[in-house]
Structure 1
Amino acid sequence: MAVYTDVSAEELADFLSHYDIGELLSYKGIAEGVENSNFLLHTTRGTYILTLYEKRVAAGDLPFFLNLMTHLAAHGLHCMQPMTTRSGDALGTLAGRPAAIIEFLEGVWPRRPTVQHCTVVGDALATMHLAGAGFEMTRANALSVAGWRPLFAAVEGRTEELQAGARNLLATELDHLEKAWPRTLPTGVIHADLFPDNVLFLGDKLSGLIDFYFACSDILAYDVAICLNAWCFEIDHSFNVTKARAFLNAYNRVRALSIEEQEALPLLARGASIRFLLTRFVDWLNVPPGALVKPKDPQEYLRKLRFHQGVKSIRDYGVEQGLVA
């Protein structure tokens, strides 16, 4: 979340007049994240999130995101829900941008995830994958393996700023991933960005999943790999095998990973590292002047990539292959 587009109180009041959510009391920008402009709204009837979708989010994808949230909530997943106008529309236009109002979920995201947090997230991710099986809409993942080469080309000339030798490391890794990327693993709806700041807790209890704006149709185990990277490393970038074991076991109790998925997990984790390394580096180099935004450090994912390159099997993540339980 971030703020790239300013909204006047007059514009916002007019926008809200189409909803039955009360009159505007106050609003303020939310600085976290990098994708869209977000505001916290307080009205006479409650608290909401206003999102203005910026250029990186294709307007044609928005019905997928908004309908997915509604579908998942109807199938038992705790997640944010879009509000609709009196005419039933979840999507409108504000300040020249597509815009939506989303219900506000109480809770805080964990700055220092615990083993219990990892257990809860494993359960929630598997629940989401099962719930998404009945969702009829699809959306290709533009940031899967076919999308990494163009990202690399856009920043290749500056990759040595990351670390000496990074250019050759990334080029070689991309060659390997493009050749070895699995094509027959189970697919479905994935969140694709389930980092700690997209999961809200009240104590150790999950209160909701948020920010579905990278959700897409892709390999389910790739979503597991993204979470493994996001939840199971410490601040010093060391891998926490206890957290990984808790996360994988919790996921498997809800949706069992096949042997093929388990075998592919180290490769998928390398791919997840490349994906976030490259998109973070692009963002790092292209923050608009004056934007209220905090770009995330791409160096973190260079270290994670090196770790996964040394992983031989799922055993290195704390569980025996075929015996996740």
Structure 2
Amino acid sequence: MAVYTEVTDEALAAFLADYEIGGMVAFRGIAEGVENSNYALKTTQGDFILTLYEKRVNTADLPWFLGLMEHLAASGLPCPLPVRAREGRNLNPLAGRVAAITTFLPGVWPRRVVLEHCEPLGAALAQLHLAGQDFAPRRANALGPEAWQPLLEKSLAHADDVQAGLGPELAADLARITAAWPRDLPVGHIHADLFPDNVFFLDGKISGLIDFYFAATDIYAYDIAICLNAWCFERDFSFNITKSRALLRGYMAHRWLSEAECAALPVLAQGASMRFLLTRLYDWLHTPPGALVTPKDPMDYYRRLRFHNTARDASAYGL
């Protein structure tokens, strides 16, 4: 989440007039994240999130994202429910952008991941994968392996400004990862961005899964690899195999991993590291001045990638 587009009180009042959620009581920008402009909105009828879509989000994909969220919410998953305006639309123009309102979910995301977070997270991820199986529309992953080389090329000219030799090293790693990328693993709808700040906990239980704007139809186990990267490294970038084992245990209590999926975990984890390294590198070098957002250090994922490059098999992750 972030703020790139400012919304005036007058524009917001006109926008809300098309909804049946009451009048505005409070409105503030949310500066976390890197993708869209997000605001916490309180009305006389409750709390909501207002999102204005920009940057890498293709507006043609928005009906799919919101449709998936509606489907998952109807299946009992704690994810935001898009609010429809009086005429039935859940996407409407605001401040020169396409915007949506979603319900607010209670809870707090974990600023520091502890072991007790990991098994519930794995279970929630498996439940998301299972709940999405009867959502028929599909969406290709716009930030899947086919996108990584073009993304690297956009940053190569200045990659060595971040660390000497970074550009050639990433190019070699990327060539190796894409050559080994699995093509025959189970596929379905994945979240693709289930970082701690996209998971809310309340009273020790998961109360919200948010930010579905990278969701896509892709390899289930790749979604697990993204979570291993996001949840199982300590602040010194050491990998916590106990957290990994708990995450995988939670997942496999609901959806069992095949031998092929387990065998592919190292390269999937390398690919997940590469994907976030490259998008963070691009943002680090290209974030527009004045945006109320702090770009995330791409080298955090460089360090994760170094670990995954040493993993010979799934035992590195506790399997």
1:235-264 CA-partner distances (Å, limit 9, x unpaired): 111101110000011101100010000000
Partner of 1:163: 163
Partner of 2:279: 279
In structure 2, C-alpha distance between the alignment counterparts of 1:173 and 1:266, rounded to whole Å: 13
In structure 1, give the amino acid aligned to 2:141: N
Could you say what secondary structure the match of 1:303 adopts? helix
Partner of 1:323: none
In structure 2, give the amino acid aligned to 1:277: L
Could you say what secondary structure the match of 1:291 adopts? coil
1:66-105 CA-partner distances (Å, limit 9, x unpaired): 0100101111211111111112111101011000001011
Deviation at 1:170, TM superposition (A): 0.9
In structure 2, give the amino acid aligned to 1:273: S
In structure 2, give the amino acid aligned to 1:192: A
In structure 2, give the amino acid aligned to 1:214: F
Partner of 2:261: 261
Moved more, 125-134 or 80-89: 80-89
Moved more, 282-291 or 269-278: 282-291
Partner of 1:322: none
**TM-score when normalising by structure 2:** 0.98
In structure 2, give the amino acid aligned to 1:64: W
In structure 1, C-alpha distance between the alignment counterparts of 2:145 and 2:139, rounded to whole Å: 15
In structure 2, C-alpha distance between the alignment counterparts of 1:251 and 1:108, rounded to whole Å: 22
Runs of 4+ in 1 over 4 A off after TM superposition: none
In structure 2, give the amino acid aligned to 1:234: E
In structure 2, C-alpha distance between the alignment counterparts of 1:271 and 1:188, rounded to whole Å: 18
Partner of 2:307: 307
Could you say what secondary structure the match of 1:254 adopts? coil
- Mapping of residues 148-187 of structure 1, within 5 Å: 148-187=148-187
Deviation at 1:162, TM superposition (A): 3.0
Q: How much identity, in percent, do the aligned residues show?
A: 59
Partner of 1:234: 234
1:121-164 CA-partner distances (Å, limit 9, x unpaired): 00000000001100111111111110000011011122223323
In structure 2, C-alpha distance between the alignment counterparts of 1:253 and 1:32, rounded to whole Å: 32
Deviation at 1:165, TM superposition (A): 2.6
Moved more, 261-270 or 177-186: 177-186
In structure 2, C-alpha distance between the alignment counterparts of 1:115 and 1:173, rounded to whole Å: 31
Could you say what secondary structure the match of 2:280 adopts? helix
Count of residues in Structure 1 that have an aligned counterpart in Structure 2: 319
Partner of 1:82: 82
**TM-score when normalising by structure 1:** 0.97
Could you say what secondary structure the match of 2:253 adopts? helix
RMSD after superposition: 0.9
Partner of 2:201: 201
Partner of 2:189: 189
In structure 2, C-alpha distance between the alignment counterparts of 1:69 and 1:301, rounded to whole Å: 28
Partner of 1:42: 42
In structure 1, C-alpha distance between the alignment counterparts of 2:41 and 2:175, rounded to whole Å: 46
Deviation at 1:116, TM superposition (A): 1.3
Partner of 1:244: 244
In structure 2, give the amino acid aligned to 1:303: R
- Mapping of residues 76-115 of structure 1, within 5 Å: 76-115=76-115
In structure 2, give the amino acid aligned to 1:46: G
Could you say what secondary structure the match of 1:248 adopts? helix
In structure 1, C-alpha distance between the alignment counterparts of 2:161 and 2:274, rounded to whole Å: 16
Deviation at 1:316, TM superposition (A): 1.1
In structure 2, C-alpha distance between the alignment counterparts of 1:290 and 1:169, rounded to whole Å: 32
